[in-house]
């Protein structure tokens, strides 16, 4: 007999406590004294640690590097970042272990308040906005660009990149190992099934699944 239990959500209901003043001051000091290469090296130095100091220094370094980092942000172990100067991370964001945040020098990457990112996720953040309180399942991926493949007499990886914005609406939930392709908008409150490949826009408050993803139901509001 299968017994189902219901428990209160933890991350989504977590209060935003202020970060210590010394942490904010150290981030400012590091930004003033160190260049980007030095800050990235310092971030890497603490990337794999599991202790309090390691987690604290990851957050401090990210705050020194990024365009914006809110309060109560958690940066897991072995997170990898590139072009963090384009990152805008709001309050209470959780970034799971071994996640890759791949920004672009002329891009934009926004993560909204209360968003939870599962471990081993991948973000091609060429032009990516994730709104508030999004659940991002472990191993889920988003692509923000693809090669045009034109002309056909060139290897595809040598052809131009076409960057298309990706938008994930507030309160949406992206399942484990799902893939969001370039140019897709996921509507508010929608559910993307585990392993789905989303190739086109998803309306608000629906459920999609499959390859390619198709609507399988609606959520009651």
Contact of 119 with 97, CB cutoff 8 Å: yes
Q: Which residue has the tokens 């081993």?
A: 120
Catalytic option among 11, 83, 105, 147: 147
- Determine whether 147 is an active site residue: yes
Question: DSSP of the chain, one letter per residue?
Answer: ---------SGGG---PPPPHHHHHHHHHHHHH--HHHHHHHHHHTTT--SHHHHHHHHHHHHHHSSEE-SS-EE-TT-EEE-GGGEEE-TT-EE-TT-EEEEEEEEEEEE-TT-EE-TT-EEEEEEEEE-TT-EE-TT-EE--EEE---STTS-GGGSPEEE--EEE-TT-EE-TT-EE-TT-EEPTT-EEPTT-EE-S-B-TTEEEETTTTEEEEE---
Catalytic residues: 147
């Amino acid at each position: 007999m299968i017994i189902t239990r219901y428990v209160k959500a933890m991350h989504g209901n977590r209060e935003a406590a202020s970060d210590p003043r010394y942490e904010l001051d150290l981030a400012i000091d590091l930004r003033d004294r160190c260049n980007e290469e030095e800050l990235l090296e310092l971030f890497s130095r603490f990337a794999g640690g599991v202790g309090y100091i390691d987690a604290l220094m990851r957050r401090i370094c990210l705050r020194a590097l990024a365009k914006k980092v809110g309060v109560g942000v958690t940066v897991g172990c072995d997170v990898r970042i590139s072009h963090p100067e384009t990152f805008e991370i709001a309050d209470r964001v959780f970034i799971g272990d071994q996640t890759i945040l791949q920004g672009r020098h002329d891009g934009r990457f926004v993560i909204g308040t209360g968003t939870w990112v599962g471990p081993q996720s991948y973000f091609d953040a060429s032009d990516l906005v994730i709104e508030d309180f999004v659940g991002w399942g472990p191993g889920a991926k988003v692509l923000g660009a693809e090669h045009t493949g034109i002309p056909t007499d060139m290897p595809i990886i040598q052809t131009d990149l076409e960057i298309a914005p990706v938008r994930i609406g507030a309160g949406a939930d992206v399942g484990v190992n799902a893939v969001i392709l370039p140019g897709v908008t996921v509507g508010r409150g929608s559910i993307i099934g585990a392993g789905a490949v989303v190739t086109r826009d998803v309306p608000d408050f629906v459920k999609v699944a499959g390859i390619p993803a198709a609507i399988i139901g609606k959520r009651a509001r």
